[in-house]
Amino acid sequence: MTEPIQLEGSMVAIVTPFTGGDIDWDAFGKLIDFQIENGTEGIVPCGTTGESPTLTHDEHDKVIEYTVEKVAGRIPVIAGTGSNSTDEALRLTKHAKSAGADACLIVNPYYNKPTQQGMYDHVAKLAEAELPIVLYNIPGRTGIELTPETVVRMYNDIEMVVAIKEATGKLNTSSDIAAACDIAILSGDDSLTLPIACVGGCGVISVLANILPGEIRRLCDAISNSDIPAAQRRHLTLFPLFKAIFVETNPIPIKGAMGMAGMIQDELRLPMTPLSKEHRPALAGLLRDFGVDANA
């Protein structure tokens, strides 16, 4: 059994920057340093925001290896290693373990729509890699949802299951889970960080933190300090941006925002396409309100 891992606070679902169709390693390294310098408490590479569906297996492995090397133990690395093939997910998870990741993020098996028992058996098999598991419940992407009962069963039965990234958009789901066990509940939606915290959550795996890590850290700090009035003020101030970064499918808007700010090339891999021109002026304006020099 590995040492217990504490997953809480402000974590980032980091983008994978591209240039000319290839991974931009120089930009990626700068993004990792930027996150740590601004108080981010965990890095999640190869998730939805990292465009894992269009990374090759070789690229996926290298992104995780590079992230672990660059972070150098300063904060936890939670590697996205999920798949709709259990064998494939197990290989990815074993690789993340060997690369030195602190935990793995396991999305519900997409497209093939397994039963609750199938998802339980899938996670139980992945636990053989002996890497702490963060479940990732996002039915809008996968077409299947872990029920609270299955989450609780996994947590109670499978020692490696330590947390869940809750992205169902349903506060009742977070409440049901929190009422039944003490698994760490991390918001998978920026706009629900405060609401989920109010029913038992302990942090967020954030998209907006890619460009405003300090703001997300301050929101999470206010929550952890039980300063709810301050957390409410920060939540409401950030709320227009929470909505704007999901005006099109993630990670299109956040990459558009980072491109406008000169942090990365505004480049995605098909079938993802750059942010529509109609949305750029409003997003740039919101970013400028937070001191980001963004040009639409």
- Give, as one character, the DSSP assignment of residue 191: G
Residue 165 is a catalytic residue: yes
> What is the Cα–Cα distance from 233 to 214, expressed in whole angstroms?
15
Out of 165, 243, 255, 277, the active site residue is: 165
78-80 and 42-44 as β-strands: parallel, antiparallel, unpaired?
unpaired
Bridge partners of 164? 135, 185
Q: Does domain 9-228 have CATH number 3.20.20.70?
A: yes
Residue 182: C-alpha distances to residues 130, 153, 162, 289 (Å): 20, 12, 9, 38
One digit per residue, pLDDT tens: the chain, 296 residues? 446 788 999 999 999 999 999 999 999 999 999 999 999 999 999 999 999 999 999 999 999 999 999 999 999 999 999 999 999 999 999 999 999 999 999 999 999 999 999 999 999 999 999 999 999 999 999 999 999 999 999 999 999 999 999 999 999 999 999 999 999 999 999 999 999 999 999 999 999 999 999 999 999 999 999 999 999 999 999 999 999 999 999 999 999 999 999 999 999 999 999 999 999 999 999 999 999 998 87
Q: CB-hemisphere CA count at 13 Å for 56?
A: 6
Per the CB < 8 A criterion, the answer to whether 67 and 45 are in contact is yes
Is 111 a residue of the active site? no
Domain boundaries, the chain: 9-228
Q: Within 10 Å of residue 295's Cβ, how many Cβ atoms?
A: 11
Residue tagged active-site, from 70, 136, 155, 255: 136
Tell me whether residue 93 is exposed, middle or buried, using C-beta atoms within 10 angstroms of its C-beta: 0 to 12, 13 to 18, 19 or more. buried
